[in-house]
């Protein structure tokens, strides 16, 4: 029995990685990497702190703040800040752990980290959000820096919050530096960073479709969950490429197409506006033929789809939902969210891949499919170091190249290390995990982190 506290989300992320490494030939070829796995699973450092702030009524409010500095073998710690009432150490450790290997897959020089607080931005005034961000950064600013640890936004943290946090760092430390990414474009932010995760996800799936001989996006039916940053830009790019988006959702319910309906660009623009005001999808009157289902996730309500893109939060596709997606003919599942699928859902997809051959399922884990967000954060850091800004076209092209490399790196690594039967498709989850792990483990070895 372990004497450690139970950390269900972290244990799940660890199990997924360890299972794919164990079921490959990696440890036969490199038994010493078992030591690397033991070492890499413990964060280099965890910072926990108190955040006190004043609400509009003049009352003191207090929250728990965190930064998990998980691994710096490939560069400064890098990863988002999540503001959500569910935030705890287990969730931030799972996110920080996945971030290590994801960042390695981008090919850029970034370590892995994650942070946040159990603060709920919903129902707060703009002034309360500002006071919270200032109080949070007052403490976090001691532990970060452009060459040490570079946070960004995640759930509940967008451009406005990054602005308040950047301003606090600038004033308190008397330094204007690239200490955060996702900044405003007129004060050091990169073009395409807001779009990067959603666009990158769609670029990644383009390669899945291509290698499977399934053609282009034209005419594909796509189910998307979430209606925040990742979901919004994934949906817009799908529509731009000729696909039909048949759902969006939030924490309270789902919007699903009915009677040949679909999500339009106007729907998405109106939802962007609504979400900026921290409102719920329930308050939206759809323009197209969409119905709102309270308390639901989209997967079992969308009928046949070709592609499913979970883009809200962890564990948002269950085993039963995975089975319905497969039964309804969905062949491509790619996570925009981190750990969007439960272990049991992944098992459903991976079993289909193993047994069905030819027309089998392709499942892409978040650490590969959503690496476009952190990749463009890496490009923002590069631009800040040079004190230059690249054009939209330059950044978008680099994002496309990075997503292509992430896809083929996972595919080729699977072929190299995972034994396959005749006709079986390579496992993107195993290949991506092994590729990310080997790169980090090797750097750690060369630095003397393990021996």
Distance of CA 106 to CAs 201, 318, 372, 410, Å?
A: 13, 28, 8, 11
Q: For the CB of residue 197, give the shortest distance to ligand NDP in the complex, in Å.
A: 4
Of these residues, 114, 183, 220, 367, which one is catalytic?
114
78, interface contact from ligand 8G0, ligand NDP, none, CB < 5-8 Å by kind? ligand 8G0
Q: Which is nearer to ligand NDP, 121 or 426 (CB)?
A: 121
Q: Which is nearer to ligand NDP, 63 or 337 (CB)?
A: 337
Q: How far apart are alpha carbons 116 and 82 in whole angstroms?
A: 4
Q: For the CB of residue 226, give the shortest distance to ligand NDP in the complex, in Å.
A: 4
Q: How far is CA 114 from the centre of its chain?
A: 11
Binding residues vs ligand 8G0 (CB under 6 A)? 78-80, 99, 102, 152-154, 181, 338, 373-374, 377
- Name the β-bridge partners of 27: none
Closest CA to 212 of 426, 373, 439, 445: 426
Residue nearest to ligand NDP (CB): 228
Instruction: Enumerate residues 6+ apart whose C-beta is below 8 A from 420.
Output: 426
106, interface contact from ligand 8G0, ligand NDP, none, CB < 5-8 Å by kind? none
Q: For the CB of residue 314, give the shortest distance to ligand NDP in the complex, in Å.
A: 6
Instruction: Enumerate residues 6+ apart whose C-beta is below 8 A from 142.
Output: none
Q: How far apart are alpha carbons 323 and 327 in whole angstroms?
A: 6
Q: For the CB of residue 59, give the shortest distance to ligand NDP in the complex, in Å.
A: 24
Q: How far apart are alpha carbons 89 and 84 in whole angstroms?
A: 13
Q: Which is nearer to ligand 8G0, 249 or 338 (CB)?
A: 338
Do 66 and 117 contact (CB within 8 A), yes or no? yes
436, interface contact from ligand 8G0, ligand NDP, none, CB < 5-8 Å by kind? none
Do 331 and 361 contact (CB within 8 A), yes or no? yes
Q: For the CB of residue 126, give the shortest distance to ligand 8G0 in the complex, in Å.
A: 22
337, interface contact from ligand NDP, ligand 8G0, none, CB < 5-8 Å by kind? ligand NDP
Instruction: Enumerate residues 6+ apart whose C-beta is below 8 A from 340.
Output: 225, 310, 311, 312, 313, 314, 315, 316, 317, 366
91, interface contact from ligand 8G0, ligand NDP, none, CB < 5-8 Å by kind? none
114 given a catalytic annotation: yes
244, interface contact from ligand NDP, ligand 8G0, none, CB < 5-8 Å by kind? none
For residue 442, give the 3-state DSSP assignment.
helix
Q: How far apart are alpha carbons 445 and 203 in whole angstroms?
A: 33
Q: For the CB of residue 154, give the shortest distance to ligand 8G0 in the complex, in Å.
A: 4
Binding residues vs ligand NDP (CB under 6 A)? 84, 86, 153-156, 197, 226-231, 250-252, 275, 280, 311-313, 336-338, 370, 373
Q: Is the dihedral of CA 163, 164, 165, 169 positive or negative?
A: positive
Q: How far apart are alpha carbons 209 and 206 in whole angstroms?
A: 5
Q: For the CB of residue 181, give the shortest distance to ligand 8G0 in the complex, in Å.
A: 5
Q: Look up residue 119 and give its DSSP letter.
A: -
Q: 126: number of CA atoms within 13 Å, CB side?
A: 4
Instruction: Enumerate residues 6+ apart whose C-beta is below 8 A from 14.
Output: 41, 97
156, interface contact from ligand NDP, ligand 8G0, none, CB < 5-8 Å by kind? ligand NDP
Q: Which is nearer to ligand 8G0, 24 or 106 (CB)?
A: 106
Q: Where are the alpha helices (DSSP H) in 300-423?
A: 319-327, 343-356, 366-369, 371-386, 392-417
Q: Which residues are catalytic?
A: 114
């Amino acid at each position: 029995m372990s004497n450690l506290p139970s950390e269900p989300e972290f244990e799940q992320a660890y199990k997924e990685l360890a299972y794919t490494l164990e079921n490959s030939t990696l440890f036969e070829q490199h038994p010493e990497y078992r030591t690397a796995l033991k070492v890499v699973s413990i964060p280099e450092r965890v910072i926990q702190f108190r955040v006190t702030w004043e609400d509009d009524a003049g009352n003191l409010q207090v929250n728990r703040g965190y930064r998990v500095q998980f691994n710096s073998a490939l560069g400064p710690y890098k990863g988002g800040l999540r503001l959500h009432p569910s935030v705890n150490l287990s969730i931030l450790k799972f996110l920080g752990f996945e971030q290590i290997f994801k960042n390695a897959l981008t090919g850029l020089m970034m370590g892995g980290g994650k942070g946040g607080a159990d603060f709920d931005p919903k129902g707060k005034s703009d002034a309360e959000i500002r006071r919270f961000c200032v109080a949070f950064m007052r403490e976090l600013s001691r532990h970060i820096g452009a060459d040490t640890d570079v946070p960004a936004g995640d759930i509940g943290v967008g451009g406005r919050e990054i602005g308040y946090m950047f301003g606090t760092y600038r004033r308190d430390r008397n330094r204007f530096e690239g200490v955060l990414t996702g900044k405003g474009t007129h004060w050091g932010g990169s073009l395409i960073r807001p779009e990067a995760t959603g666009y990158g996800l769609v670029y990644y799936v383009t390669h899945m479709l291509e290698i499977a001989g399934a053609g282009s996006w034209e005419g594909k039916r796509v189910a998307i969950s979430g209606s925040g940053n990742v979901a919004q830009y994934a949906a817009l790019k799908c529509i731009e490429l000729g696909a039909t988006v048949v759902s969006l959702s939030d924490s309270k319910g789902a919007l699903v197409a009915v009677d040949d309906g679909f999500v339009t660009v106007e729907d998405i623009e109106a939802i962007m506006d609504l979400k900026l005001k921290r409102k719920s999808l329930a308050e939206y009157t759809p323009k197209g033929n969409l119905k709102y289902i309270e308390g639901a996730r989209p997967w079992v309500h969308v009928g046949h789809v070709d592609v499913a893109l979970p883009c809200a939060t962890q564990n948002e596709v269950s085993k039963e939902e995975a089975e319905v997606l497969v039964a309804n003919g969905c062949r491509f599942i790619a996570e925009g969210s981190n750990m969007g699928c439960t272990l049991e859902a992944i098992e459903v997809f991976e079993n289909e891949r193993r047994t069905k051959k030819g027309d089998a399922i392709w499942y892409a884990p978040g650490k590969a499919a959503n690496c476009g967000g952190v990749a463009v954060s890496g490009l923002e850091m590069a631009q800040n170091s040079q004190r230059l800004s690249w054009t939209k076209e330059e950044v978008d092209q680099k994002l496309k190249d990075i997503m292509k490399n992430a896809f083929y790196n996972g595919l080729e690594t699977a072929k190299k290390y995972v034994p396959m039967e005749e006709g079986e498709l390579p496992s993107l989850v195993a290949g991506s995990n092994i590729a990310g792990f080997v790169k980090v483990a090797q750097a750690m070895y060369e630095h003397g982190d393990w021996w």
